[in-house]
Amino acid sequence: MHETVEHIQLNSKKIIDGDIKVYFCLILLLFVVISGEIGVYVLAFASFSCLSFYAAGRYYIKIIKIPIYFLVSGVIVILFFIPGKTVYQLYFLKISGEGVNIALNTALRALASLSIMSFMILTTTIPEMFSAFKKLKLPNFAVEMSLLVYRVIQILLDEAARLERSASSRLGYASRKVFVNTTALLSYSLFLKSLKRSEKLDRAMDARCYSGVMPILDVKNTGIYYALAIAVLLVALWWFL
């Protein structure tokens, strides 16, 4: 069965959980990006990779794989096109010392950031994230709108999957011409369904005394000591380097 990010988030093993996880990830992400120390990058990458791998196993590799493709291509460009004293030459391609430095720095910084973001993505659902943001005094309407939009997206994705299955079962993608026609019809149906859905949502909210409040999740904070230990290690490393 196709595994969605939501399923991975729900089934992941969370050493650090609750609002603290969101704050911890965002603060450390900021710290790692501005620290400018390769040692900090390496330690952050190692520790968050371990956390992510423990949380979601092979899905960590799956999720980090695609940005790494982009990162590798970017790093190669940096490696060959930064001017400076040549340290290695392959035919007409020259690699400068500065190029190596910048490429290494960029690659490690990006990997560290990616591992932190991946950990957050693999272990935090959207409602948990907005719950944490709301406690940081994010305006009510922003949280309410985001959560409603998220709920509607959930329903529309289910609806789209159903329509897609229906189209496939009746040879809706048999040829290129039919594919285009089916996609157009599917988009049109989905649009109509989304309009209908908004009416139903409005009615459901009315039926339950809606007055502008969207409840937020209250997930218990766990793993505070792990989070503190990682943060202290990173800051200490940065301080001493």
Please give the residue ranges that form the binding site for another protein (CB under 8 A).
6-7, 10, 125-128, 147-148, 150-151, 154-155, 157-158, 200-201, 203-219
- Between CA 83 and CA 92, with CA 88 as vertex, the angle to 5 degrees is 70
In the complex, what is the shortest distance from the CB of residue 208 to another protein, in angstroms, rounded to a whole number?
4
Cα–Cα dist 22/6, whole Å: 16
In the complex, what is the shortest distance from the CB of residue 164 to another protein, in angstroms, rounded to a whole number?
16
Q: Which C-beta is closer to another protein: that of 55 or that of 107?
A: 55
State which H helix or E strand residue 95 sits in.
strand 93-96
In the complex, what is the shortest distance from the CB of residue 42 to another protein, in angstroms, rounded to a whole number?
34
In the complex, what is the shortest distance from the CB of residue 150 to another protein, in angstroms, rounded to a whole number?
5
- Spatial neighbors of 54 by CB under 8 A, at least 6 apart, are 13, 15
First to last CA, the chain: 47
- Spatial neighbors of 166 by CB under 8 A, at least 6 apart, are 172
Q: Are 79 and 103 in contact (CB under 8 A)?
A: yes
